[in-house]
Amino acid sequence: MTRSSRAGRAARRSFSLACAATVLVALSGCARFDDSASTPFSPEPTFGAADVSPGDPSAPESSAPPPPPPGPCVDPDPAVIATCLDTLGGLVTLPGGGAALVAERVTGAVVEVAPGTAPRPVASIPVDPSPGGGLIDLALSPTYAEDRLLYAYVVTPTDARVVRIAPGDVPKPVLTGIPRGTGDVGGAVDFVGPSELRVATGSGGDLAAAADPASLAGKVLSIVDPRVDGSAVPRVVMSGLGRAGDLCSDGTGSQWVTDGAPDGDRLSRITPEGGVVGPVWTWPDRPGVGGCAAAPGTVAVAMSGARAVGVVPVDPETGSVPTPPALVAQDRYGRLRGATLGADGQILVSTTNKDGGVPTPTDDRVVIVQIPAGGGGND
């Protein structure tokens, strides 16, 4: 059932964001995003030795790292794990949850980020960097630990498309010919099984195309065996999308869809059987929904206009939204675009302040956000 976020009781305001700069702290008493919401991968990535506080008398003097040098890319907020990146799009957590890959929309760079380490470019994809274009979203192969395959939704000068990237190889087309439209049409990729990739495409402002089963615009599409180069024949799972936001799976077989329509931003659900429910919630004030991260009982949605993470409580039995969503981290990091499930139930989000916002000296950034107890409460 669709409800307005203006309705309902006021959400509580208690919220705690506590995180060390070199570790992802486990949530205690918070709405938990179980690790089962994402495909288990192994082995877990390893990083350098943990920092030791200079004031720890038990630590050898030589092991105490110096304080970070002052500079424009040093952010004092310990929840910020990467700074001074270009305009950001979607992001995806790497096996083990200790690091993530984030898309630089304008440059086409895929950058690995992790607490306590400098951002590291790992791939570059040719894109059209014009407004609304670029490298939009990323997804890992379900067997990433073995094949290291990465999938991306990109905009080129002629179309939007899905490409596959193997280490040391050029991007290979998986699905081409998606209408690129004008402006920010969005787009997303997300696996829902070992061999099924789903793709969300924007309408480009053409609502007729979004409703036309012969058009790839404004759809959620299913591709079986996306390893086949350029010859995938997609199946339409959902029609009528406006500006495509994101796709995210919650570990129960359901997949959540965010998009922006003329009458409001929306959250919809695709059931494990492939049926479409919703929208289950509509935001008439159009806060600019983008990336999402889901677990049983909660969906977190990054918002550019509201400059916050929207926390949507979900009834695990019915998939409905029993109480109004709340906003957390509002106005703390500016415009938010991407979201992914991190370690220990935390959410990683990317900022997009260099695209229509007011960037700080450390933008654009990747930030850890905790979800408050019960999934409610305004920050």
**Residue 146 included in any domain:** yes
**Residue 184 included in any domain:** yes
pLDDT of residue 337: 97
For residue 252, give every residue at least 6 positions away whose Cβ sits within 8 Å of its Cβ, in sequence order, or none: 272, 296, 316
For residue 66, pLDDT beyond 60: no
pLDDT of residue 72: 80
pLDDT confidence tier of residue 67, bands split at 50, 70 and 90 = low
Q: What percent of the chain is modeled with pLDDT above 70?
A: 78
pLDDT confidence tier of residue 8, bands split at 50, 70 and 90 = very low
Q: pLDDT by residue (tens digit) across 124-180?
A: 999 999 888 999 999 999 999 999 999 999 999 999 999 999 998 999 999 999 999
CB atoms near residue 195 (< 10 Å) = 13
Dihedral of the alpha carbons of 233, 236, 242, 244, in degrees to the nearest 10: -60
**Residue 283 included in any domain:** yes
Q: pLDDT by residue (tens digit) across 13-60?
A: 332 323 333 323 332 333 333 333 333 222 322 222 222 232 333 334
pLDDT of residue 225: 82
For residue 73, pLDDT beyond 50: yes
Q: pLDDT by residue (tens digit) across 296-336?
A: 999 999 999 999 999 999 998 889 999 999 999 999 999 99
112-121, 143-152, 364-373: least confidently modelled range: 364-373
For residue 263, pLDDT beyond 70: yes
pLDDT of residue 233: 86
**Residue 27 included in any domain:** no
If one compares 377 and 268, the residue with the highest pLDDT of the two is: 268
Region 77-97: mean pLDDT is 96
pLDDT of residue 345: 77
For residue 196, pLDDT beyond 60: yes
pLDDT confidence tier of residue 238, bands split at 50, 70 and 90 = very high
pLDDT confidence tier of residue 82, bands split at 50, 70 and 90 = very high
**Residue 53 included in any domain:** no
**Residue 133 included in any domain:** yes
Q: Domain range for residue 323?
A: 74-375
If one compares 3 and 140, the residue with the highest pLDDT of the two is: 140
Q: pLDDT by residue (tens digit) across 282-299?
A: 999 999 999 999 999 999
Q: pLDDT by residue (tens digit) across 207-233?
A: 999 999 999 999 999 999 887 666 778
Number of domains composing the chain: 1
Region 52-75: mean pLDDT is 51
Task: Give the CATH number, domain containing residue 337.
Answer: 2.120.10.30
**Residue 255 included in any domain:** yes
**Residue 39 included in any domain:** no
